[in-house]
Structure 1
Amino acid sequence: MTEPKPVDCWLTDMDGVLVREQHAIPGAAEFLAALQQTDRRYLVLTNNSIFTPRDLQARLRASGIELPVEAIWTSALATAQFLGNQRSDGTAYVIGEAGLTTAVHEIGYVMSDRDPDYVVLGETRTYSFEAITRAIRLIENGSRFIATNPDATGPSTEGSIPATGAIAALITKATGVEPYYVGKPNPLMMRTALNRIDAHSEHTVMIGDRMDTDVVSGLEAGLRTILVLSGSTNADAVQRFPYVPTRVVDSIADVVPLVHQFLSPV
């Protein structure tokens, strides 16, 4: 066994870790304050592609959490960066909301429904049968299929609602074409986040509430991982997976003391 490397960078999921149903989870504000007080580099990650970072900043502030806008990294931003790296000045037919359309615009892409380079699927609360049909026909005609994340459902106050992965499955069933998912659990999302804060995987910890997205993507990117039990995963479910997080804690409040330990026992 090798000695653990110092931890000076932190990545954390948002929903289920910092907030739950738009309410701050106890310890979230203290965790972020500890990162800022100790000059740790960090990013808050989310597979949510609906909102822009500025929108998310405002929503977090309403929950009592202060966060710089540049500390937020969304699947929409990661998807836009991927597109820009793959094909600069391209065209895309986008199904999604402001978080995704703004990100794609800002990399210089043109929105088009006439033979676009890509069909880009994100999350929206108003999936249109007409838009989905158009996406299917464009993919059948050769447009490449990209999706922000594979989450099949999302939360709401009334219960689960269909999310990007569910709509992607519908399009795949109709076309036979699988999308390339950029967001978690693709470790590409972790890698782009690390690059954004100039962090090294050996010195970074990923915190999340889901074994099948947060923990596995952190693991595959070479990060140490912390699972919090304040979100989607309970303690009994952890044993069902063929991989384990570095540490399991009840909530983000339990992580606060670790931030102050440069030679973290994580």
Structure 2
Amino acid sequence: MGGRSVIGGNERKPVESWLTDMDGVLVHEGQPVPGAPEFINRLRGSGKPFLVLTNNSIYTPRDLQARLTRMGFDVPEHAIWTSALATAQFLADQRPGGTAYVIGEAGLTTALHSVGYVLSDYEPDYVVLGETRTYSFEAITKAVRLISGGARFICTNPDVTGPSNEGLLPAAGSVAAMISKATGVAPYFVGKPNPMMMRSALNTIDAHSETTAMIGDRMDTDVLCGLEAGLQTILVLTGIATRIEAEHYPYRPSRIVASVADLIDEV
């Protein structure tokens, strides 16, 4: 990206590292966004550090890499950062070698195992709630009892709904609300819009906030998260947000573009 840009009256340094959301930015309804594979190819060719971010904790980076490969993307496994990985890193920093009762799938359990956590329902240090395709009432009941008994409550992400081919599905944020109502205990959310998700991503690629851009399709998670972490924020219109809706928020992205295809020449 040549030269410096002036945003809101402040001179910004050239972008040296990129963070991009996946759903709504690179892919939409199971298909690649036009120009998105070319954007990733240009990023890879530039040698600039980048990460593909997702709040979805179901899949491992390897799963997501395979999914992206099928759609024509060339994304290495180490360039994918999930809320499950951020959650595992957070817990390893807070309480190394701890124990957790987990509601979630392979993306979350694999991440926790990789940092040395033991998964247990006997007096665990944490109850960790993530995304799953099939929330079990029995598992939710167990979580309620463990939290009531003193386990600390962590949730990978606050999204209340998620997409499916049949329509919206309740997501981790909705289930967390049910558990909170039953226990009187609010969870600590690690994923977007918690800026910790951004900071952990920056640390992973040894990037600096003042020279990093975050690309997203949601004002309430991607843009807010990037803004609070001190990043340049770029809203694309290929997912959730529209230009009109963006104006309703009290904060603004650094800029709005139609899609990542408009950013290819800036890498």
The two structures have a TM-score, normalised by structure 1, of 0.96
Deviations 1:230-259 (A, max 9, x none): 001111101110000001011111111121
In 2, Cα distance between equivalents of 1:241 and 1:182:
22
Match of 1:144 in 2: 152
Give structure 1 regions of 4+ aligned residues with deviation exceeding 4 angstroms. Answer: none
User: Which ranges of structure 2 fall in alignment gaps of 5 or more residues?
Assistant: 1-8
In 2, Cα distance between equivalents of 1:82 and 1:50:
18
Match of 1:106 in 2: 114
Matched, 1:234 2:263: no
In 1, Cα distance between equivalents of 2:39 and 2:230:
23
Match of 2:84 in 1: 76
Contact 1:22-1:59 at 8 Å conserved across structures? no
| 1:188 equivalent among 196, 211, 220 | 196
In 1, Cα distance between equivalents of 2:229 and 2:199:
7
Displacement of 1:2 in angstroms is 4.0
Matched, 1:45 2:45: no
Match of 1:250 in 2: 258
| 2:161 equivalent among 150, 153, 167 | 153
**Residues 164-183 of structure 1 correspond to what in structure 2 (within 5 A)?**
164-183=172-191
Q: Which amino acid aligns with 2:266?
A: L
User: Which ranges of structure 1 fall in alignment gaps of 5 or more residues?
Assistant: 260-266
Q: Which amino acid aligns with 2:185?
A: V
Q: Which amino acid aligns with 2:149?
A: N
In 1, Cα distance between equivalents of 2:97 and 2:227:
33
Displacement of 1:208 in angstroms is 0.1
Displacement of 1:3 in angstroms is 2.5
- SS of the aligned residue for 2:154 comes to strand
Match of 2:6 in 1: none
In 1, Cα distance between equivalents of 2:247 and 2:191:
25
Contact 1:49-1:75 at 8 Å conserved across structures? yes
Match of 1:55 in 2: 63
Displacement of 1:13 in angstroms is 0.2
Contact 1:17-1:25 at 8 Å conserved across structures? yes
Deviations 1:188-245 (A, max 9, x none): 0000000111100000000000000000000000000000000011111011100000
Matched, 1:93 2:101: yes
Match of 1:36 in 2: 44
Deviations 1:84-111 (A, max 9, x none): 0000110000000000001011111111
Deviations 1:42-90 (A, max 9, x none): 0000001000000000001111111000000000000000000000110
- SS of the aligned residue for 1:207 comes to strand
Identity of matched residues, %: 67
- SS of the aligned residue for 2:252 comes to coil
Displacement of 1:4 in angstroms is 1.8
Contact 1:89-1:108 at 8 Å conserved across structures? yes
Match of 1:262 in 2: none
| 2:228 equivalent among 217, 220, 229 | 220
Deviations 1:91-141 (A, max 9, x none): 000000000001011111111101100000000001000000000000000
Q: Which amino acid aligns with 1:3?
A: E
The two structures have a TM-score, normalised by structure 2, of 0.96
Match of 1:264 in 2: none
In 1, Cα distance between equivalents of 2:10 and 2:187:
39
